[in-house]
């Protein structure tokens, strides 16, 4: 099945593509439709492309592929971890992101100097391969306190609230209402009604050799400054300040006998409370009798 897309691309003075904004996408019965306007900038071009949905399983070979897949994720046409993003970092160039649009690294010194003599109106927001989501996609019924901390390619469920210290990488996000004051790393998906406390962290797959994608189920709570390198099922809580890696030794009670297991053996299980016993320093997992609940007033986001 062919899918048609239209939009605008920005180019360097050498003609290299810096980014692509997809104004119109028709995909798998869903549609995003915005007007295209006449251009008055020689460094911008309108485009119309078509692609076969089967190509979403192919590695990324150019900037068109990269920005198309990032747009599909942020428009919620596809779920995280369901399309092939191999080659993304290799293909995307490092860009200077400014209030006047993307600028090539080799051109920024001259542009910044020119700005100083003509109103000082050029503001550099970041130097990165990825732009922020809100320069391309405005998620519906979502609150983002600092949009520079949410990359294009993030998938945000309705009712999600991302506070100032929250961060959401590409190919990651939330499937429903969620309070995000911690870090959702690439490849990590958070279930409905879950809460990532301030400074909490989830282990992703971009660095450190980790190739295991983890997830957080529904009604979960990561306490402030906690972290996980294993998946959580539904109704799980991790105590504030506790970081659980796959190799963490955890004490459990099985048939009235105390047993020591690796945390990886508990990955994905539901109804668990993880905490550190303050008397002996051991990490313990036991039945979680309290279900995390979000404040409804904080997640309407209409």
Dihedral angle computed from the Cα positions of residues 135, 140, 142 and 147, in that order, rounded to the nearest 10 degrees: 0
Question: Are residues 176 and 170 in contact, defined by beta-carbon separation less than 8 angstroms?
Answer: no
Q: SS in 3 state form for 102-134?
A: EEEHHHHHHHHHHHHHCCCCCCEEEEECCCEHH
> For residues 17 and 228, what is the distance between their CA atoms, to the nearest angstrom?
38
Q: CA–CA distance from 195 to each of 184, 246, 262, 278, 298 (Å)?
A: 11, 21, 25, 24, 12
CA 13/CA 24 separation, integer angstroms: 26
Q: Which residues are catalytic?
A: 181
Give, in order, the Cα–Cα distances in Å from 29 to each of 1, 125, 138, 207, 214.
11, 36, 20, 36, 30
Q: Which string of b and e fits 213-244 if b means at least 16 CB within 10 Å?
A: bbbbbbbbbbbeebbbbbbbbbbbbbbbebeb
Give the span between the Cα atoms of 96 and 93, in whole angstroms.
10
| CA 48/CA 7 separation, integer angstroms | 7
H helix or E strand, kind and range, residue 287: strand 283-287
Relative to beta strand 249-254, strand 257-262 is antiparallel
To which residue do tokens 């798998």 refer?
Answer: 28
């Amino acid at each position: 099945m062919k899918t048609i897309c239209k939009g605008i691309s920005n180019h360097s003075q050498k003609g290299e593509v810096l980014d692509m904004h997809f104004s119109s996408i028709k995909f798998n019965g869903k549609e995003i439709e915005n007007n295209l306007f006449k251009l008055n900038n020689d460094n911008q071009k309108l485009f119309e492309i078509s692609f076969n949905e089967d190509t979403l399983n192919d590695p990324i070979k150019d900037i068109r592929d990269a920005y198309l897949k990032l747009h599909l994720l942020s428009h919620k046409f596809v779920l995280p971890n369901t399309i092939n993003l191999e080659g993304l970092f290799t293909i995307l160039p490092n860009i200077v992101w400014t209030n006047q649009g993307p600028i090539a690294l080799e051109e920024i010194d001259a542009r910044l100097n020119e700005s100083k003599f003509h109103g000082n109106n050029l503001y550099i927001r970041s130097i990165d391969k990825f732009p922020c989501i809100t320069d391309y996609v405005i998620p519906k019924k979502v609150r983002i306190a600092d949009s520079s901390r949410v990359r294009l390619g993030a998938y945000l469920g309705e009712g999600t609230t991302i506070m100032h210290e929250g961060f959401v990488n590409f190919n990651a996000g939330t499937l429903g209402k969620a309070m995000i004051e911690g870090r959702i790393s690439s490849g990590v998906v958070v279930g409905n009604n879950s809460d990532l406390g301030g400074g909490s962290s989830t282990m992703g797959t971009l660095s450190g050799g980790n190739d295991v994608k983890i997830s957080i189920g529904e009604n979960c709570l990561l306490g402030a400054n906690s972290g996980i390198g294993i998946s959580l099922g539904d109704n799980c809580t991790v105590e504030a300040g506790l970081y659980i890696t796959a190799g963490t030794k955890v004490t459990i009670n099985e048939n009235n006998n105390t047993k020591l297991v690796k945390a990886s053996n508990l990955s994905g299980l539901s109804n668990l409370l993880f905490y550190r016993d303050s008397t002996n320093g051991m990490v313990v997992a036991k039945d979680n009798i309290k279900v995390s609940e979000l404040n409804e007033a904080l997640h309407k986001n209409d």
